[in-house]
């Protein structure tokens, strides 16, 4: 830790309002996979062709946040930040030579890294994790080579899994539902036998699978597991519980269960969103049956925006246009999708119910991020956080009682496949002239095209120090222009400079929260992934 001055920029400290003493709440976090903000009826309104009565129920019974964000537009870094309260780009990257394909990723976090579960575990919580994990595991192998489809010993438990991050019980898929191995692990032990090969979705990723594994049964199985966990945990009334449910949908494969096929007006994608909503409903009903709904804090959200390739046909580029032609806009009024840097990639549904604490039926327009869950849950549970834990996590507890109060979060850094952005107040600076991704799935403008146009307009390749000039970045006022159509960078260079200085400070400080500066685990360069032709030689 450096002896430099304490860092206080980017967050305002607010005291939690004094509230009547009560037992620490149970906490349930439900995270959908690739669910766009416009896929939820209470957010999408007339441009949502899917009914989502359970998400809508949470909006009636709790607070609906309208400026909530994932900090990354892809699964792994978004979940890292959500789980640790620290931006994913601050963590060291594992050696890529150790990774196997798809679900064979090695751990993205060092075992013992502070997580939501470890902070709550210290406060006496019983913790469980269900569903999509995608933070990496260390599997037992039959040789000394990196783990992969051909050498994993499925008869031997995981060497590193959810247990090493504070979860006493778990029932997980290693990756997404379209990523092999297609098999569950219960408390680190494979449920199998994993003795066959299967492929799901239009991607047709063929790999090891448990013989009884079916993609269209997964949501129903996760619903049953959640019901069982809640019933068992609620029976021990002296111990609060924390349950995190990583739903696998509406991420591909678009494979709704039999009971939901044909249920929506939109087609298979709508059917799968409805089944995702129904799974949330089963969790809420389980809390009711167990008699603990009144003392349980529930958060329902998504890991980032909708995928541009997901729709009613095979997973191909631009499927979102087919849904839009049918009147359904997964990103709502926002521009962008999974992988890119625009609002549709990061702005997510975010609903919080806490009877007696969260104002029922209210809307909160303040800026929050999934990275804020650690500080918020710790505050709700009266759990002590060590200095440096949740370094970028800002509690939004004050906003639950008073959703229109001044928000404690001042800035938020978000990333795409290749770009960084920073938000402060209504302004959002994007450190790229394009979408911040390759564009192969329909995200526009693709990096190669946008950077080439910017260099051409500039008249020559820029130097590294010139990449922050208005010609190579985008600036939007999201209050006036939520669809990010009017790039203000050329007209407001002073705001570009101020936000560049802000993100430099946030990166260098190692934290968003007040305190002595911390070290990042690796050097951070927000222009590291630009096309190689851009810079002057």
- 368 touches 399 (CB < 8 A): yes
* Domains of the chain and any CATH numbers: 26-406 (3.40.720.10)
Q: Is the pTM for the entire model greater than 0.85?
A: yes
Query: So what's the pLDDT on residue 146?
Result: 95
Considering only residues 144 and 7, tell me which one the structure prediction assigns the higher pLDDT: 144
Query: So what's the pLDDT on residue 20?
Result: 33
Q: Which helix (H) or strand (E) holds 287?
A: helix 268-289
Indicate whether 8 pLDDT > 50. Answer: no
Query: So what's the pLDDT on residue 18?
Result: 32
Query: So what's the pLDDT on residue 200?
Result: 83
Mean pLDDT for the chain? 94
Query: So what's the pLDDT on residue 465?
Result: 94
Radius of gyration over every alpha carbon of the chain, rounded to an integer in angstroms: 22
CA–CA separation, 330 vs 351, rounded Å?
Answer: 17
Helix (H), strand (E), coil (C) string for 425-447: CCEEEECCCCCCCCCCCCCCCCH
Mean pLDDT value across residues 2-17: 39
Residue with tokens 């029922």: 360
Query: So what's the pLDDT on residue 15?
Result: 35
Share of the chain above pLDDT 70, in %: 96
Query: So what's the pLDDT on residue 202?
Result: 72
DSSP calls for 210-255: ETT--GGGHHHHHHHHHHHHHHHHHH-TTS-EEEEEEEEEESSS--
Query: So what's the pLDDT on residue 356?
Result: 96
CA–CA separation, 536 vs 253, rounded Å?
Answer: 43
Q: Which helix (H) or strand (E) holds 503?
A: helix 493-509
What distance, in Å, lies between the first and last C-alpha atoms of the chain?
A: 37
Mean pLDDT value across residues 522-533: 96
Indicate whether 437 pLDDT > 50. Answer: yes
Mean pLDDT value across residues 301-321: 96
Query: So what's the pLDDT on residue 237?
Result: 84
Mean pLDDT value across residues 116-124: 97
Residue-wise pLDDT tens digits, 376-419: 999 999 999 999 999 999 999 999 999 999 999 999 999 999 99
Mean pLDDT value across residues 463-473: 96
Residue-wise pLDDT tens digits, 180-196: 999 999 999 999 899 99
Query: So what's the pLDDT on residue 21?
Result: 31
Mean pLDDT value across residues 113-123: 97
Indicate whether 176 pLDDT > 50. Answer: yes
Indicate whether 526 pLDDT > 80. Answer: yes
Residue-wise pLDDT tens digits, 73-117: 999 999 999 999 999 999 999 999 999 999 999 999 999 999 999
Mean pLDDT value across residues 29-43: 98
Residue-wise pLDDT tens digits, 331-389: 999 999 999 999 999 999 999 999 999 999 999 999 999 999 999 999 999 999 999 99
pLDDT band at 13, cuts 50/70/90?
A: very low
Indicate whether 301 pLDDT > 90. Answer: yes
Mean pLDDT value across residues 251-264: 97
- 516 touches 3 (CB < 8 A): yes
CA–CA separation, 502 vs 499, rounded Å?
Answer: 5
pLDDT band at 204, cuts 50/70/90?
A: confident
């Amino acid at each position: 830790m450096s002896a430099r001055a304490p860092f206080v920029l980017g967050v305002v400290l607010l005291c939690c309002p004094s509230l009547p003493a009560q037992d620490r709440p149970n906490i349930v976090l439900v995270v959908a996979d690739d669910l766009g903000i416009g896929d939820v009826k209470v957010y999408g309104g007339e441009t949502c062709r899917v009914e989502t009565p359970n998400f809508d129920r949470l909006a009636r019974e709790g607070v609906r946040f309208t400026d909530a964000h994932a900090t990354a537009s892809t699964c792994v870094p978004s979940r890292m930040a959500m789980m640790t309260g620290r931006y994913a780009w601050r963590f060291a990257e594992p050696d890529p030579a150790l990774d196997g394909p798809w679900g064979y990723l090695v751990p993205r976090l060092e075992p013992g890294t502070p997580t939501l579960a470890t902070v709550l575990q210290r406060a006496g919580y019983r913790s469980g994790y269900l569903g999509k994990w995608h933070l990496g595991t260390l599997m037992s192998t039959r040789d000394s080579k990196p783990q992969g489809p051909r050498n994993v010993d499925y008869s031997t438990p995981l060497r590193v899994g959810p247990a090493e991050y504070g979860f006493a019980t778990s029932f997980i898929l290693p990756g997404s539902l379209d990523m092999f191995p297609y098999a569950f692990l219960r408390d680190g032990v494979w449920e199998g036998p994993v003795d066959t090969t299967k492929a799901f979705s239009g991607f047709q990723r063929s790999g090891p699978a448990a013989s009884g594994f079916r993609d269209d049964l997964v949501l129903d199985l996760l619903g049953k597991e959640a019901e069982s966990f809640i019933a068992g945990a609620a029976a021990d009334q002296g111990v609060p519980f924390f349950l995190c449910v990583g739903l696998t949908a509406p991420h591909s494969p678009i494979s709704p269960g039999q009971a939901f096929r044909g249920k929506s007006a939109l087609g298979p994608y709508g059917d799968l969103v409805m089944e995702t909503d129904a799974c949330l409903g089963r969790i809420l009903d389980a809390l009711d049956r167990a008699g603990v709904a009144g003392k349980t804090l529930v958060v329902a959200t998504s890991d980032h925006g909708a995928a541009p390739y997901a729709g009613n046909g095979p997973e191909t580029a631009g499927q979102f246009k087919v849904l839009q032609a049918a009147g359904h806009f997964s990103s709502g009024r926002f521009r962008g999708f999974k992988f890119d840097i625009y609002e549709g990639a990061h702005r997510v549904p975010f609903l919080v119910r806490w009877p007696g604490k969260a104002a029922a039926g209210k809307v909160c327009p303040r800026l929050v991020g999934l990275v804020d869950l650690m500080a918020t849950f710790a505050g709700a549970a009266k759990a002590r956080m060590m200095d440096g834990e949740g370094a970028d996590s800002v509690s939004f507890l004050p906003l639950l009682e008073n959703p229109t109060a001044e928000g404690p979060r001042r800035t938020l850094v978000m990333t795409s496949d290749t770009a960084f952005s920073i938000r402060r107040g209504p302004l959002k600076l994007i450190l790229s002239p394009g979408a911040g991704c390759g564009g192969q799935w329909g995200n526009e403008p693709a990096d190669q095209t946008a950077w080439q146009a910017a260099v051409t307009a500039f008249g020559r390749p820029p130097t590294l120090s010139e990449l922050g000039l208005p010609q190579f970045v985008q600036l939007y006022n999201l209050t006036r222009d939520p669809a990010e159509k009017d790039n203000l960078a050329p007209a407001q260079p002073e705001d570009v400079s101020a936000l560049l200085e802000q993100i430099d400070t946030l990166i260098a400080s190692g934290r968003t929260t007040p305190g002595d500066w911390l070290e990042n685990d690796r050097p951070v360069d927000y222009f590291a992934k630009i096309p190689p032709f851009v810079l002057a030689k």
